Structure formats: structure tokens, C-alpha cells
Amino acid sequence: MNADFEAADGESGPDRAVLLAHGAGADRNAKPLVATARALAAAGIPSLRFDFPYRTAGRRAPDRPPVLLAAVRDAAAELSQRTGLPPERLVLGGRSMGGRYCSLAVGDADDPLPALGLLLLGYPLHPAGKPDSLRVEHFPRLDVPVLFLSGDRDALAGKDDLEKWASTIPGLVDFHWLAGGDHGFRVPKSLGGKGEAAVLAEVADVSARWVADLPGRP
């Protein structure tokens, strides 16, 4: 597995860590993931960014669902081993497809993966052009805190629809909407676009604050 571990700044041992999975067309070096990892480190929270097997093999098409789910579980186990933290102290998530498969692992009907929370950056509520093919069947099994951080112009998850279906999640749900942002977090100048660096900083800062504010070790 290709992975990058970002150690936490500071000397005290962390009581939480974050797994960051990439979207279908990206890899572990996607800018939102790197920016988020750096913000987490500054907040004293370690993280692990990893590549799914198809990216490691140099392929463009994502692996089949069982392979993607297994990769999430393997990466979570590696993060737990690197930090010495139990699975229930890990926040799982990432961009688009990566975040979705983390949520599927946590919401697995037969073998749910323990987690402290889910950090979903641009959750793809449905495939492109298929608004009726909703990816929500596991939502009622998500009993951990969830942050949905999305652009309010995301063509794969309209604001009203995402808020509607997120209401079926029993865990505490928070939203952060990037004003004018699309699925790739791009904000056009016509809608007051403030530049890529500013958007990435917003994504990273909001994510790090949310993770840091989750309940501490019992």
C-alpha cells in the first residue's frame, strides 16, 4: 500500500487520528487531502493518506467495491498500528469516492468498522447524471458523528437532497457548505471565487476543527 503518514505536531500523545482516502480520479496527493493533513498535524492530530490498489497499480478505473472496502479496512488497521490508537479513536473519510467507501465500511450491515467519526469531503450522493441512483442505503447504520463538507453547487449532491437524506443518519450530523463550490471545490470568479488556496485553507481548517472538537478519550 502506498501511504503517507503525517505525524502530529507537539509532544503529547494524540487521542485521535484521521484516515484520508482519495476520490476516483485522484490519488493520496490530492490537494484537499494534503492541506487537511497539514492542518490536522498543526492541531496535534496525526493522519494517513493512502492510495487504493488501482492507483498503486497505475490504473485509472477504480477497483471493484469489495477491493475498495478491503483497502479502507487495511489502511485503518495501519493507522491504528502506527499511532497505537484503537479503531474507535480513528476518524475515517476523505474525498468523494474515498469518503463514501469509508462510510460504507462504518455502515457495513455485517461487520461495521469502528470509528470516532466520518469526515466526508464532497460526498457523492449519486453518480453523475443519475440523481435517482442514491447512495444512502447505509445511512441509517451510521451511528457516529458525521461532517459533510461540500460545495453548494455540487452536481453530485444538491444541498436540499443531501440534507434530506442525511437526516436518516442516527449519529450527530454537521454540514459545512463551500459558497459557490462545485464537486471539485472549484468556485468560479462570477460567484465570488476567492482562489484555490483560500478554498483549500477553508476545507482544511474546518475539517481540523471538527475533528479536534469530537469527544476526547473516555
Give DSSP secondary structure letters for 115-175. Answer: -SEEEEES--SS-TT-TTS---TTGGG--S-EEEEEETT-TTS-HHHHHHHHTT-SS-EEE
Q: Report the percentage of the chain scoring pLDDT > 90.
A: 90
Provide mean pLDDT across the span 53-72: 97
Measured CA distances, 79 to 88, 145, 160, 173, 211 (Å): 12, 20, 35, 24, 16
pLDDT band at 193 (very low <50, low <70, confident <90, very high): low
pLDDT score recorded for residue 188:
83
- Check residue 211 and give its pLDDT: 98
**Residue 93 cell numbers, joined:** 473519510
Looking at domain 3-213, which CATH architecture does it have? 3-Layer(aba) Sandwich (3.40)
* Listed residue (150, 5, 140) closest to 81, CA to CA: 5
For residues 125 and 16, give the distance between their C-alpha atoms in angstroms, rounded to a whole number.
Answer: 27
Average pLDDT over residues 130-139: 96
For residue 164, what is its C-alpha cell?
434530506
Residue partners of 143: CB distance under 8 A and separation at least 6: 170, 171
pLDDT for residue 171: 96
Residue 192 has pLDDT above 70, yes or no: no
pTM of the model: 0.96
Q: How many Å apart are CA 69 and CA 11, to the nearest integer? A: 33
Altogether, the residues listed in the chain come to a count of 218
Angle, helix 31-42 to helix 196-213, in steps of 10 degrees:
50
More confident site: 139 or 189: 139
pLDDT of 35 higher than 80: yes
Q: Please compute the mean of the pLDDT values over residues 58-80 and round it to a whole number.
A: 97
Average pLDDT over the chain, rounded to an integer: 94
Residues 162-187, mean pLDDT to the nearest whole number: 95
pLDDT of residue 191: 63
Average pLDDT over residues 14-37: 97
